[in-house]
Amino acid sequence: ASMVRLSGIAKIFQSKDGTPVAALDGIDLDIPHGGITAIVGPSGAGKSSLLRAVNMLERPDAGRVVVDGTDLTMLDEPALRRVRQSIGMIFQHFNLLANRTVAGNVALSLELAGWNRDRIGPRVAELLALVGLTEKAGQYPAALSGGQKQRVGIARALAPSPRLLLCDEATSALDPETTRQILALIRRINRELGLTVLLITHEMGVVREVADQVVVLEAGRIIEQGPVATVFAHP
């Protein structure tokens, strides 16, 4: 069984002059359990729309989204919010709350999920240790470097123990050395926690460094997919 199975996904937007634009135009895609899959393609290819279809942040106009055996297109919003607990997401610009500490940011998703206070503290401490930020627990995001902010983002995403991690241009705001460190962390949690990772990026270096499988999108369609070495082998 697949971690993610997309079939016949279409997403249509109205452009400014009123003509419809197919951001996604019939996407069929299987993401196996346990790997790191990169979705690449030029700006406007539909990468962001595809990622946001997987957790239904944007509801597709057609098709099925099945995550870990559950058809998300059949669910109402309250049920979707519960399912999203098992789908972590990290962002290019981190999306941290400026008025909460590092620990407070990581605790937030657990508070929203109704976790008991007594369980939140130890879980936050465990997550901060995992991403190497134990010393920063009481700091506010403004005091952190970009790489540290993304580590908070990763800890927050992992807090409810998701099976799937979605990464939206997660290293695009970082310098090359910090990018390598964050990619190494993503690879480590993929291996150690058995987490399936689906990422979008416009950086080929990211794909070569971290991905097992690559999917090439163009104008809302998949034009190529396979192991990284195979897809990038030809001239």
The residues of the shown chain that bind ligand ADP, judged by CB under 6 A, are 13, 21, 23, 41, 43-49, 100-101, 103-104, 107, 117, 120-121, 124-125, 137-138
The residue nearest ligand ADP at its CB is 104
For residue 118 the two structure tokens come to 């007594």
For residue 51 the two structure tokens come to 């990622």
Confirm if 214 and 37 have CB atoms less than 8 A apart: yes
Query: What single-letter amino acid sits at 47?
Result: K
Q: In the complex with ligand ADP, which residue's Cβ is closer, 53 or 68? A: 53
Q: Which of 106, 136, 99 is nearest to 121 (CA)?
A: 106
Q: In the complex with ligand ADP, which residue's Cβ is closer, 116 or 233? A: 116
Q: In the complex with ligand ADP, which residue's Cβ is closer, 44 or 132? A: 44
**Rounded to the nearest whole angstrom, what is the least distance from the CB of residue 6 to ligand ADP in the complex?**
14
Q: Which of 130, 134, 178 is nearest to 154 (CA)?
A: 130
Confirm if 153 and 96 have CB atoms less than 8 A apart: yes
Q: In the complex with ligand ADP, which residue's Cβ is closer, 84 or 136? A: 136
**Rounded to the nearest whole angstrom, what is the least distance from the CB of residue 37 to ligand ADP in the complex?**
15
**Rounded to the nearest whole angstrom, what is the least distance from the CB of residue 16 to ligand ADP in the complex?**
8
Quote the CA–CA distance of 194 and 155 in Å, as a whole number. 15
Q: In the complex with ligand ADP, which residue's Cβ is closer, 57 or 80? A: 57
For residue 147 the two structure tokens come to 């790489």
Pairing of strands 87-91, 164-168: parallel
**Rounded to the nearest whole angstrom, what is the least distance from the CB of residue 12 to ligand ADP in the complex?**
9
Edge-to-edge strand order for the sheet containing 62-67?
20-32, 2-14, 62-67, 70-71
**Rounded to the nearest whole angstrom, what is the least distance from the CB of residue 34 to ligand ADP in the complex?**
25
**Rounded to the nearest whole angstrom, what is the least distance from the CB of residue 169 to ligand ADP in the complex?**
8
Q: In the complex with ligand ADP, which residue's Cβ is closer, 86 or 139? A: 139
